[in-house]
A = this chain, B = another copy of it.
Amino acid sequence: MKQLLIVAHGSRRAASNDEVRVLAEKVAQHLQLPAEQVQVAFLELALPSIETALDECFNNGIHEVSVLPYFLSSGTHVVNDVPREIAAAQEKWPDKVITMLPHIGAADTMVSLISSTYR
């Protein structure tokens, strides 16, 4: 079974973290997947961590996780921090498949999304 893990930066404001959780629920609905197949993890300042979230996935019998960095630009979090966490998890779970998707700011549809806010 496959799962999407949305990785956000994490905020000291609980409401910001909850926004990401709500977004994950909506994505699951949009993809017509059970809610548990779209999970959220945070790089810092909020829980679960990427490590904990991936451990939970794999302990629950998931075989493959696509990690979506919910970041707008390819800063150090996208270039270094998230890949480092993924590499550590891959070493811990060598039989599982972990794929890192492009960060959300690189999505082709970002241009039309921004354009739609202006019109």
Residues of chain A whose beta carbon lies under 8 Å from any beta carbon of chain B: 4, 6, 8, 11, 13, 15-17, 19-20, 23, 26-27, 30-31, 66, 68, 70-76, 79, 101-102, 104-107, 109-119
- Besides A11-B75, A19-B106, A104-B114, 18 more A-B contacts (Cβ < 8 Å) are A4-B118, A13-B73, A13-B75, A13-B79, A16-B73, A16-B75, A19-B73, A19-B105, A30-B115, A31-B118, A31-B119, A68-B114, A68-B118, A70-B72, A70-B114, A107-B116, A109-B109, A109-B112
| Contact sample, A vs B, 20 pairs, CB 8 Å cutoff | A4-B118, A6-B114, A8-B72, A8-B73, A13-B73, A15-B74, A16-B75, A19-B74, A23-B105, A27-B111, A27-B115, A31-B115, A66-B118, A68-B118, A72-B72, A102-B117, A104-B113, A104-B114, A110-B113, A113-B113
